[in-house]
């Protein structure tokens, strides 16, 4: 009988069996033998698979295409074991966590440990295999870039995980840490541009965190293209970092639902700007401008937005920029259940929102949307 504390698949000197070398290599980590066997059985038809228990000695010698982790993250020993493997985790293109805990706390914990995608609840063969397929994104990175995880993306995702956890558990918010993450994203985009940022974020994250990272990147690049000063750029990336914090109070079943929301679900989603505002307004380090952006980033110039149905003269400049960035990001982000919309098509949708978005800003946004 196989020792459950050793690897499920034998390794050769390269960490993978020769007969499977032509297939993408996926490494599986789990906290029990049953969980390990279940995940490996799903994957082995399509991938070269190796697995090990978290309480076993780490034996991974080759960087895999993906790492799949199925473990109880309320167990401190499991968290410690995952952190011990952080170096190898960071090099994998995809890091998918399968967790039974469907709360925001559980999901945030997984992202804080380096997940690129979290699949909460009962394990689904179809969802897992789909998540391991490549995004329908025509842009691609070199193999060296793929293997090297982008620090700014990791820092940003960790900041979002920290924010969501703070909201869920009503804990103190690390405002300075979040703003510092925004500054590092701004530095990264200033140096390497928006297109590189979008490619890197899509490669490493999906769902709500991907959206927040893309919104922040788009807003920063929009600000840079407009030539705003450093203080205004800081206001802009801070607003982008905090804008969706109210989504921490939205059930994940609604927040990550594939396909169109029904009227009741849409009403729940539309509570997030006011919820975020209510959580942040007691924090002395959050300026009135940032609070305004958090509450009003879904307002339109014609008064058809929410939650306050503001009209043109009452919507500030930062909010107008953030709203355009938010809509564009939502259109171009990658979800494992739908193809990625081309940037030109997303820009055409913005241009079609006449009367809702400021025309001059939409025109100025064109190079950001198409070429930067």
Mean pLDDT is lowest, of 47-51, 125-129, 311-315, 336-340, for 336-340
pLDDT in the model for residue 150:
58
Question: Is pLDDT above 80 for 333?
Answer: yes
List the one residue out of 197, 234, 228 whose CA is nearest residue 215: 197
Strand, coil or helix: 57: coil
Q: Retrieve residue 148's tokens.
A: 């090297």
Q: Which residue has the tokens 């939409």?
A: 362
Mean pLDDT is lowest, of 145-149, 192-196, 310-314, for 145-149
pLDDT in the model for residue 142:
39
Does 160 or 360 have the greater pLDDT score?
360
| Model confidence pLDDT, tens digit, residues 244-264 | 999 988 988 888 787 789 999
Q: Retrieve residue 167's tokens.
A: 């909201």
Going by pLDDT thresholds of 50, 70 and 90, the confidence category of residue 138 is: very low
Mean pLDDT is lowest, of 115-124, 172-181, 359-368, for 115-124
Going by pLDDT thresholds of 50, 70 and 90, the confidence category of residue 102 is: confident
pLDDT in the model for residue 221:
96
- Cβ neighbours for 192, distance < 8 A, ≥ 6 positions apart: none
Q: Strands of the chain (E only): list them.
A: 25-30, 48-53, 66-70, 94-99, 117-120
Give the rounded percent of residues in the chain with a pLDDT score beyond 70: 88
Rounded average pLDDT over 287-291:
94
pLDDT in the model for residue 6:
36
pLDDT in the model for residue 276:
95
pLDDT in the model for residue 321:
97
* C-beta separation of 248 from 273 below 8 A: no
Question: Is pLDDT above 60 for 141?
Answer: no
Question: Is pLDDT above 90 for 17?
Answer: no
Q: What is the DSSP string of 343-360?
A: HHHHHHHHHT-BTTB-HH
Rounded average pLDDT over 40-45:
90
Question: Is pLDDT above 90 for 293?
Answer: yes
Rounded average pLDDT over 348-352:
97
pLDDT in the model for residue 179:
92
List the one residue out of 87, 205, 192, 96 whose CA is nearest residue 153: 205
End-to-end CA distance of the chain: 58
Could you count the other beta carbons within 10 Å of the beta carbon of residue 257? 14
Going by pLDDT thresholds of 50, 70 and 90, the confidence category of residue 296 is: very high
* C-beta separation of 220 from 240 below 8 A: yes
At 27, give phi and psi (nearest 5°): -105, 135
CA atoms within 13 A of residue 166's CA, in its CB half-sphere: 19
Question: Is pLDDT above 70 for 117?
Answer: yes
Rounded average pLDDT over 24-48:
92
């Amino acid at each position: 009988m196989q020792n459950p504390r050793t690897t499920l698949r034998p390794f050769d000197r390269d960490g993978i069996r020769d007969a499977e070398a032509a297939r993408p290599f996926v490494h599986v980590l789990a906290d029990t033998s049953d969980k390990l066997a279940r995940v490996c059985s799903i994957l082995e038809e399509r991938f070269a698979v190796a697995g090990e228990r978290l309480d076993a000695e780490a034996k991974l010698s080759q960087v895999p295409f993906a790492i799949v982790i199925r473990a109880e993250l309320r167990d401190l020993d499991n968290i410690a074991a995952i952190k011990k493997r952080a170096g190898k985790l960071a090099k994998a293109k995809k890091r998918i966590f399968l967790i039974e805990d469907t709360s925001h706390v559980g999901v945030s914990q997984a992202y804080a440990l380096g997940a690129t995608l979290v699949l909460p609840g009962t394990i689904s063969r179809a969802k897992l295999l789909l998540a391991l397929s490549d995004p329908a994104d025509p842009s691609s990175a070199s193999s060296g870039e793929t293997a090297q995880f982008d620090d700014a993306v990791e820092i940003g995702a960790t900041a979002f995980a920290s924010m969501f956890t703070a909201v869920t558990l009503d804990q103190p918010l690390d405002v300075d840490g979040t703003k510092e993450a925004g500054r590092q994203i701004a530095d990264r985009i200033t140096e390497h541009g928006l297109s590189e940022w979008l490619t890197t974020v899509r490669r490493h994250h999906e769902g709500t965190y991907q959206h927040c990272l893309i919104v922040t990147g788009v807003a920063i690049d929009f600000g840079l293209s407009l030539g705003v000063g450093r203080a205004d750029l800081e206001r802009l990336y801070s607003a982008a970092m905090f804008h969706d914090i109210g989504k921490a109070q939205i059930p994940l079943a609604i927040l990550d639902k594939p396909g169109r929301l029904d009227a009741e679900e849409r009403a729940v989603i539309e509570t997030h700007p006011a919820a975020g505002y209510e959580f942040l307004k007691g924090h002395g380090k959050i300026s009135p401008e940032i609070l305004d952006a958090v509450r009003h980033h879904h307002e339109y110039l014609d008064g058809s937005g929410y939650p306050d149905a503001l009209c043109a003269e009452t919507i500030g400049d930062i909010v107008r920029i953030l709203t355009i960035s938010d809509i564009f990001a939502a259109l171009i982000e990658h979800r494992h259940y739908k193809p990625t919309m081309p940037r030109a098509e997303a820009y055409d949708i913005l241009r079609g929102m006449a009367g809702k978005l400021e025309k001059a800003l939409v025109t100025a946004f064109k190079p950001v949307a198409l070429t930067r």
